[in-house]
Each structure stands twice: as structure tokens, then as C-alpha cells.
Structure 1
Amino acid sequence: MNDPQPVKKRSRIQMRNRKRILDAALEVFSQHGYRGATLDQIAAASGLSKPNLLYYFDGKADIHVTLLNQLMDIWLAPLHEIDPDGDPLDELLHYVHRKLEMSRELPRESRLFANEILQGAPRMTPHLDTVLRPLVSRTVAVIEGWVSTGRLAPVDPHHLLFSIWATTQHYADFEAQVRVLMGDTPVYPGAAEFLDNLYRRLLQPRD
């Protein structure tokens, strides 16, 4: 039986070109969605030729799935950080603020994920089922434990998480609308204060 061939390490030029392609694709996909994006657009944005793109990736779907897989690791990190042994209110408010920071710092990534979900998650369903579902189930159990011991006000954990995602990611996914409606008013300081008050009032245990 032959030993498996070792995976050839990519050169610095190859890694740099892959990063250029993925950065360009993120911009194109976040603007046009998967269906509206083309390899020609990604090639133009990356400054590389279309044949060069196809040297590094098998096609548009391969680029898109690579971006989504990278995004899921980043996107789920704050959920992993929730400490079951921490103060419930502090842990959940920290999660709210982390998600809001990500909307400010990673708006294109948020729109990429939103576009995939709006299309029925054709390329992400396995990831949602095998990665997101167990993580959410773990978090739901932690929140239910906090509620049952009186450390949090009664709340449905699933709808709490959906609400946090909606209220934080709105600022990225609807950035153009928020910018028009807010004008010159800084968005994120007010958003952070409002969401902190909103969830603190919702989750603070009642005497």
C-alpha cells in the first residue's frame, strides 16, 4: 500500500494571490449576491485574469464556499466565548456588544452570510446543521439553566438569540438605509447604548 502523498505547501505568492481573490470575491458577493456575481467581476476586482482565478479555485462556487467556511469560524467565535460559569447578564451583554462590533468591522461578511441564508442556504445547510445547530443547542441549555436558577428573567433562549442577531446584524445588512436615516449622527455609540439598555431590562432578574 502506497503512503499518501504529502500536501504541497503553498508559496507566499500563491497564498497572496488566493487572499487577493478571496478579498475581491467578498466585495463582489456582498454587493451582488451569489447569483449576481461573476468570475469576470471577481477577476477585475482582484487584478488577476480569469484563468488565474481558475488556477487557484475550481469556480465561483468553490470561491463562495471557501469564503463562507472562513466566515463561519469568525461568526461563531463570540457564541463559543459565552462562559456558563460567568455572570449571565455580563456574558449575554458582552455577546450583544461583540456582535455589534462585528457588524461595524465586518459588514461585507455579514451581507455575504445574509445573502446565502436568503437564498435558502444551498451551500451552507450542512454547516448550519452540523456546526451551528449543536452550538446553539449548547447555548440554549446554558440560558435555560440560568433562567431556572433565577439568574436571568424568564426568556425563550432561541428567540433571544434570533433577536440579538437581528438587532446587531441589521446595522451591517441594512447599512445603506441606516446611513441615510441617521445622516451625520454617529451610529454605533448610540446603537451600543440602546441595545445594552434593551437587553439589560429584558434579562435582569425580577425581585
Structure 2
Amino acid sequence: MDFETTVEQAVKNSEDRNFTESIDLIINFRDLDLSDPENRFNEDFKLPYQADEEVKIAVIGDSITQNAENADRTVSSDELEEMYDNPDEAKDLAEEFSFLIAEAPLMPKIGQQLGQVFGPRNMMPDPMPPGSDPTDSIEDLKNTVTLRLKEEPLLQIKIGKEDYEFDKVQRNASSVYEFIEGQLPKGDNNIKSVMIKTTMGSPEEVK
């Protein structure tokens, strides 16, 4: 599939806007029974390149936060205790950030006290041993997207922005496509069409 040409065409055909448009990959499926849980998926997938500069990471704990200079926010264990008494603060955290990392010993109580907040939002923290350096994990998560296929036979995922290098955007697109193809019972026979679309532009079919 010629992702790079299609990305270029989608950007070229999009009208000039007063903001930088995102570029999405859209995959339409066929002959896939989504009433069968085996055919659904909800996977975190690491892209070759960061697709969204707005991905925000929060790190929870005391020791691992000491090296979390590239995190967007750190939450101390004392602040976490306050969230147990005020779940709205935890809700705000889950809605503001894309991913959470927490010291592993905190996870049982987080699950018990805040599981009803984080769980439905798919925001349960990734555990990390106390004293670990989360720098690399934070960078990995900034390249991570969540691929969800549930009730609708369609997947739409951000793979970059119109001012990114086309080669990086197409590599993100092809890596997602190859992963999705491998998840399907009939491979590419379960894929009806593949599109590239800017935020306000019309979809361009990938040939």
C-alpha cells in the first residue's frame, strides 16, 4: 500500500486552515463478527514516531518521580491519598492525561480505591518498581496510541500532523496497518478499505 503518496495527497488537497491539522488513518472492516469478543481488541501500540504532541503523562509515587523530569505532572503519595477521599480529583487526572505510571506497591490500593474511576476510562496506571527511572517509559508512552475495535467495524487513529515529515507519518500508518492485519482472523481479507484523512479534509483512499 502506498501510504506516503496518499498522505501527501491528503495534505495537498486539504484547504489552508488557521491551525495545524492532524492526519488520521481510517481502516474499514468487513466480514468481521464484532459480537464475538475474540474479534474485538483494545491494545496500546507503540508507533515508530510520536503522532500527537498533546500526549501527556503523569507519574505517581515518591521515588520514581525524582527522575521523572520528562513527565507532564508528578503526583506524590500524599496527593494520591487525597484523591482517595476526593475521587473527582482522580477523575480530573484521568481526563487530563493520556497515560499514568505508578510505583508498583501503590497499585493494589489504587485499584481498590480508584479502580471505578480509572478502569472505565482505560486509565489504570502502568506499574513500575520503586526507585526506577521512568524516563524511557515516559518517552515510549508518548509514542503510544490505543487501538480499539468494539462495536463499529471501523478504526480511526491519529498518525501525525500535516507539518510532519511525510516519511514518518507513512511509517506510523504502515506499522498500524501491519499490526491490525495480524490481529484479524482473515488478515487483509477482513479489511474493506484504508483511508488517510486530515482533520477537516476529505478521506483519500490508500491504493
**TM bucket normalised to smaller:** under 0.3
Higher relative contact order (CA 8 A, sep 6+): 2
- TM-score when normalising by structure 2: 0.23
- TM-score when normalising by structure 1: 0.23
Q: Give the helix-richer structure, 1 or 2.
A: 1
Q: Give the strand-richer structure, 1 or 2.
A: 2
